[in-house]
């Protein structure tokens, strides 16, 4: 007897889990700056075009694909067309690699959560983060020593990930998201409401939204919009395919796709308002222009914001705790989805128990993550993350659109999603998936490759051997592993077993 596939306990559980994956560090520390630096209000045009021509069509594609073939990404591809199973493994391995460094960022956030109580980052937050906390080494080949506070954080995050995954889809992932996502939204609303009432907040908000229409004509701005939509919706990672494979047969996929995309965009927008309100306060208090304080990514979270929190006095302690808690919560719900995209693939292929696979994955992943807890960790993260985002994810998205759109058949997927949904998707969707999305993604991949070749990542800061090894090498290794995995044998009967799970 085949085992029944696990299922979400409710539709809302599924939506929360997908939104939990989508809402992550990208929403909090990437989107606000992107909006600000790419033309403010004017950026909303490329952003929404990207959402409707690539974001939502691909969410629907992945939902439909995973739901129709009822499997993790490799299982769905293998069932659709055995020749393309490798393409299913590619995002699963990317997910695993991303998970190993996502864990490190969460460990930083956890550490900073504890620092917030005493604002122990002092006055020079930049030096505190890089020299005292990370003890950053001289380059990617200088491992330096182990950073024990980061090591402890990584251990804790892996333990949580392991425990949640071990508990299964409805007993672990769904429960985690049901608690963390509403909490996260609540925290963000508090940050935003208090943030926009700080003195000087309007300065930040004006800067954020004032449209610079000339930007709309710049190609780079459009690439940024597509990149953000792609990353933010957790596309091309095997996550949405896997999550939708746990839905009951009759599930309104079309409606869910729009709901997740809008929920994610809404949250991004909320974060942008909060972040720029706070940056406006900082600029005003220090008497400097917004340009001098606006930043993104780790510079925003671990350098600029700690500084603002110190400026706020006791209120800053509350803000600090809430902010770093929001990073940890947003990151946990994303990292659990990365874990699932990988573990479910191995469970499907080998037929072993979830508990066993999750435990092995957690141990191996943890051992890899520990490498990032060294003085060279930030360099590893920076190089690997850039190559995975610029090449691995975009290429997988492109191949998915082409293979599912043309070989498996966009019409078949549309027929499937329409047959289970209340609201029906029109022919426009097939045109998007078969022509528009691939054309845009080909352009993106091409320009990323040209960019990297003419101007290697890091602007000369990294030796080319490091880029070879950690950049091209890691992406190459992911592809090789994907191809090898696709040649191993499936557990007997799994490929044919698609209709055995009656719902
Ligand atoms: N979507 C997440 C964000 O916006 C990032 C992420 C990408 C998480 C891929 C998991 C997988 O931050």
Phi then psi for residue 204, to 5 deg, are -65, -45
Q: Give the integer Cα–Cα distance in Å for 1 and 493.
A: 10
Query: Measured between alpha carbons, how far is 232 from 409 in angstroms, rounded to an integer?
Result: 26
Burial class of residue 82 in the structure, from the number of CB atoms within 10 Å of its CB (0-12 exposed, 13-18 middle, 19+ buried): exposed
Q: How far is the CA of 200 from the centre of ligand 1 (A)?
A: 31
Q: Does the C-beta of 437 come closer than 6 Å to ligand 1?
A: no
Provide the terminal-to-terminal Cα distance of the chain, rounded to the nearest Å: 16
Q: Is 105 in the pocket of ligand 1 (CB under 6 A)?
A: no
Is the C-beta atom of 140 inside 6 A of ligand 1?
Answer: no
Strand-pair partners of 374: 146
- Taking only Cα atoms into account, the Rg of the chain, rounded to an integer number of angstroms, comes to 22
* Nearest ligand 1 atom to alpha carbon 331: 12
Q: What is the pLDDT of residue 498?
A: 76
Query: What pLDDT, on the 0 to 100 scale, is given for residue 499?
Result: 60
Ligand 1 center to 388 CA (angstroms)? 12
The answer to whether 12 and 177 are in contact (CB under 8 A) is no
Which residues contact residue 245 at a Cβ distance below 8 angstroms, ignoring those fewer than 6 apart?
5, 66, 67, 69, 70, 71, 72, 75, 76, 344
Q: Give the tokens for residue 117.
A: 């109580």
How many Cβ atoms from other residues are within 10 Å of residue 428's Cβ? 12
Nearest to residue 104, comparing CAs of 365, 372, 346, 321?
372
Fold of 16-487: Amino acid/polyamine transporter I (1.20.1740)
What are 362's two structure tokens?
Answer: 């957690």
- Establish whether residue 237 lines the binding site of ligand 1, counting it when its CB lies within 6 angstroms of any ligand atom: yes
Q: What is the pLDDT of residue 497?
A: 77
Q: Residue 210 to residues 49, 281, 448: CA-CA distances in angstroms?
A: 19, 17, 29
Q: What is the residue extent of each domain of the chain?
A: 16-487
Q: Identify which of 22, 241, 328, 330 to mutate to test ligand 1's pocket (most ligand atoms within 8 A of the CB).
A: 22
Phi-psi region of 62 (alpha: psi -120 to 50; beta: other; left: phi over 0): alpha
> 65 is written with which tokens?
């694909």
Q: Is 172 in the pocket of ligand 1 (CB under 6 A)?
A: no
SS3 content of the chain, % helix, strand, coil (to 5): 80, 0, 20
Digit-by-digit pLDDT tens for the chain (503 residues) are 356 899 999 999 999 999 999 999 999 999 999 999 999 999 999 999 999 999 999 999 999 999 999 999 999 999 999 999 999 999 999 999 999 999 999 999 999 999 999 999 999 999 999 999 999 999 999 999 999 999 999 999 999 999 999 999 999 999 999 999 999 999 999 999 999 999 999 999 999 999 999 999 999 999 999 999 999 999 999 999 999 999 999 999 999 999 999 999 999 999 999 999 999 999 999 999 999 999 999 999 999 999 999 999 999 999 999 999 999 999 999 999 999 999 999 999 999 999 999 999 999 999 999 999 999 999 999 999 999 998 999 999 999 999 999 999 999 999 999 999 999 999 999 999 999 999 999 999 999 999 999 999 999 999 999 999 999 999 999 999 999 999 999 988 889 877 644 33
Asked if 252 contacts 356 with a C-beta cutoff of 8 angstroms, the reply is no
Distance in Å, CA 195 to ligand 1 centroid: 25
Supply the DSSP string of 50-75, one letter for each residue. Answer: HIIIIIHHHHHHHHHHHHHHTS-HHH
Residues in the chain: 503
Say if CB 232 and CB 151 are below 8 A apart: no
332 touches 70 (CB < 8 A): no
Helix (H, G, I), strand (E, B) or coil at 290: helix
Closest-lying ligand 1 atom to the alpha carbon of residue 28: 12
CA of 334 to the centre of ligand 1 (A): 6
User: Nearest CA to 362 among 390, 341, 343?
Assistant: 343
- Our answer on whether the CB atom of 338 is closer than 6 Å to any ligand 1 atom is yes
Query: Is the CB of residue 405 below 6 angstroms from any atom belonging to ligand 1?
Result: no
Q: How far is the CA of 503 from the centre of ligand 1 (A)?
A: 31
Q: Cα–Cα distance between 499 and 423 in angstroms, integer?
A: 25
Contact 157, 151 (CB under 8 A): no
> What's the sign of the alpha-carbon dihedral 256, 259, 265, 268?
negative
Q: What does the alpha-carbon distance between residue 151 and residue 189 come to, in Å, rounded to a whole number?
A: 32
Q: Which atom of ligand 1 is nearest to the CA of 330?
A: 12
């Amino acid at each position: 007897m085949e085992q029944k596939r696990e299922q979400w306990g409710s539709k809302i559980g599924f939506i929360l889990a997908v939104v939990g994956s989508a809402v992550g560090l990208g929403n909090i520390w990437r989107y606000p700056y992107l909006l600000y630096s790419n033309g403010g209000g004017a950026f909303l045009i490329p952003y929404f075009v990207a959402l409707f021509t690539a974001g939502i069509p691909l969410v629907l594609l992945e939902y439909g694909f995973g739901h129709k073939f009822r499997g993790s990404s490799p299982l769905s591809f293998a069932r659709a067309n055995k020749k393309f199973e490798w393409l299913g493994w590619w995002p699963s391995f990317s997910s695993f690699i991303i998970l190993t460094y996502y864990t490190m960022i969460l460990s930083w956030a956890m550490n900073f959560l504890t620092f917030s109580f005493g604002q122990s980052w002092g006055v020079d937050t930049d030096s505190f983060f890089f020299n005292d906390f990370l003890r950053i080494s001289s380059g990617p080949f200088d491992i330096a020593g182990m950073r024990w506070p980061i090591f402890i954080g990584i251990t804790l995050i892996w333990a949580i990930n392991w425990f949640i995954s071990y508990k299964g889809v409805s007993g672990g992932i769904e429960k985690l998201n049901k608690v963390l996502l509403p909490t996260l939204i609540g925290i963000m609303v508090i940050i935003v409401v208090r943030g926009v009432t700080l003195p000087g907040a309007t300065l930040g908000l004006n800067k954020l939204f004032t449209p610079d229409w000339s930007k709309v004509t710049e190609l780079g701005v459009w690439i940024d919009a597509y990149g953000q939509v792609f990353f933010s919706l957790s596309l091309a990672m095997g996550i949405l395919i896997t999550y939708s494979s746990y839905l009951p047969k009759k599930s309104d996929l079309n409606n869910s796709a729009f709901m997740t995309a809008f929920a994610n965009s809404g949250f991004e927008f909320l974060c942008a308002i909060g972040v720029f309100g706070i940056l406006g306060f900082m600029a005003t208090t220090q008497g400097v222009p917004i340009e001098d304080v606006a930043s993104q990514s780790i510079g925003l979270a671990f350098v600029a914001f700690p500084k603002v929190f110190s400026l706020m006095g006791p209120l800053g302690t509350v803000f600090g705790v809430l902010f770093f808690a929001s990073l940890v919560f947003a990151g946990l719900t994303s990292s659990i989805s990365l874990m699932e995209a990988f573990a479910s693939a191995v469970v499907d292929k080998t037929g072993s128990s979830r508990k066993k696979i999750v435990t092995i994955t957690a141990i191996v992943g943890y051992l890899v993550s520990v490498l990032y807890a060294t003085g060279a960790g930030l360099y590893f993260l920076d190089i690997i993350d850039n190559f995975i985002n610029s090449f691995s994810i975009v290429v997988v998205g492109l191949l998915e659109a082409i293979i599912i759109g043309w070989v498996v058949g966009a019409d078949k997927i549309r027929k499937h999603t329409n047959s289970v949904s209340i609201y029906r998707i029109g022919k426009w969707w097939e045109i998007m998936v078969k022509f528009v999305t691939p054309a845009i993604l080909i352009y993106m991949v091409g320009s990323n490759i040209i960019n990297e070749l003419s101007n290697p990542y890091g602007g000369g800061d990294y030796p080319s051997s490091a880029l070879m090894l950690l950049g091209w090498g890691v992406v190459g290794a992911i592809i090789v592993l994907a191809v090898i995995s696709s040649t191993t044998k499936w557990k007997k009967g799994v490929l044919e077993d698609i209709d055995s799970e009656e719902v």
